[in-house]
Amino acid sequence: MARIAIVTGGTQGIGLAIARELKAAGDTVVALDCKPDPEALGQSLGFAVRACDVGDFEQCRAAVAEVEQVFGPVDILVNNAGITRDATLHKMTPEQWRQVVRVDLDGVFNMSRQVIGGMRERGFGRIVNLSSVNAQKGQFGQTNYCAAKAAVIGFTKALALESASKGITVNAVAPGYTDTAMVAAVPAAILESIKASVPVGRLAQPEEIARCVAFLASDKAGFITGATLAVNGGLYMVG
Ligand code: CAA
Supply the pLDDT for residue 36: 85
88 CA to centre of ligand 1 in angstroms: 7
Per-residue pLDDT of the chain (239 residues; tens, 9 = 90+): 789 999 999 999 999 999 999 999 999 999 999 998 998 999 999 999 999 999 999 999 999 999 999 999 999 999 999 999 999 999 999 999 999 999 999 999 999 999 999 999 999 999 999 999 999 999 999 999 999 999 999 999 999 999 999 999 999 999 999 999 999 999 999 999 999 999 999 999 999 999 999 999 999 999 999 999 999 999 999 87
CA atoms 75, 232, 140, 157: torsion sign: positive
What is this structure's pTM?
Answer: 0.97
Report pLDDT for 119.
98
Instruction: Look at strands 28-33 and 4-8 and give their pairing.
Output: parallel
Q: Is the dihedral of CA 121, 33, 17, 20 positive or negative?
A: positive
Predicted local distance difference test score (pLDDT) of residue 98: 98
Would you state the pLDDT for residue 217? 98
**Catalytic-residue membership of 145:** yes
pLDDT of residue 120: 98
Separation of CA 142 and ligand 1 centre (Å): 8
Contact 130, 171 (CB under 8 A): no
Atom of ligand 1 nearest to the CA of 90: 25
Buried b (16+ CB within 10 A) or exposed e, 122-133: eebbbbbbbbbb
Q: How far apart are CA 192 and CA 185, in angstroms?
A: 12
Cβ-count burial 24-60 (b if 16+ within 10 Å, e if not): ebebbbbbbbbeeebeebbeebebbbbbbbbbbbebb
Measured CA angle at 210 (ends 139, 182), to 5 deg: 40
Sorted by where each starts, the structural domains of the chain and their CATH numbers stand as: 4-230 (3.40.50.720)
Q: How far is the CA of 187 from the centre of ligand 1 (A)?
A: 9
Tell me what pLDDT residue 142 has.
Answer: 98
Residues with CB under 6 A from ligand 1: 84, 86-88, 91, 132-134, 139-142, 145, 177, 182-183, 186-187, 190
28-33 sheet: strands from edge to edge: 48-51, 28-33, 4-8, 76-79, 125-130, 168-175, 228-231
- Residue 175's pLDDT is 98
Burial of 193 (0-12, 13-18, 19+ CB in 10 A): exposed
Ligand 1 atom 26: residue of nearest CA: 88
- Closest atom of ligand 1 to 194 CA is 44
Catalytic residue among 47, 124, 145, 177: 145
In the chain, the amino acid numbered 24 is: A
Say what the pLDDT of residue 2 is.
84
